[in-house]
Amino acid sequence: MDSTKKPKEIPNRVRFVHKKPENYQSYYSNGVFGSVTGRGDFDMNFFFEHVDIPEEEVMNVEEGELKPEEQNNTEVIVIRDFKVGIIMSPQQAEGLSNWLINALKEFKGRQVK
Q: How many residues does the chain have?
A: 113
Identify which of 47-56, 70-79, 99-108 has the greatest average pLDDT.
Answer: 99-108
On the question of pLDDT at 68 being above 90, the answer is: no
Instruction: Write down the domain spans for the chain.
Output: 31-55+72-110
The pLDDT value given to residue 62: 87
Coil, helix or strand for 34? Answer: strand
- Report whether 37 contacts 87 (CB < 8 A): yes
Residue 98 contacts by C-beta under 8 Å, 6 or more apart in sequence? none
On the question of pLDDT at 52 being above 70, the answer is: yes
The pLDDT value given to residue 58: 83
| pLDDT band at 44; cut points 50, 70, 90 | very high
The number of angstroms, rounded, from the C-alpha of 85 to the middle of its chain's C-alpha atoms is: 9
Q: What integer is the mean pLDDT of 75-90?
A: 93
Sign of the Cα pseudo-torsion (25, 28, 33, 34, in order) = positive
Higher pLDDT, 53 or 36: 36
The pLDDT value given to residue 1: 57
| pLDDT band at 55; cut points 50, 70, 90 | confident
99, containing H or E segment: helix 90-110
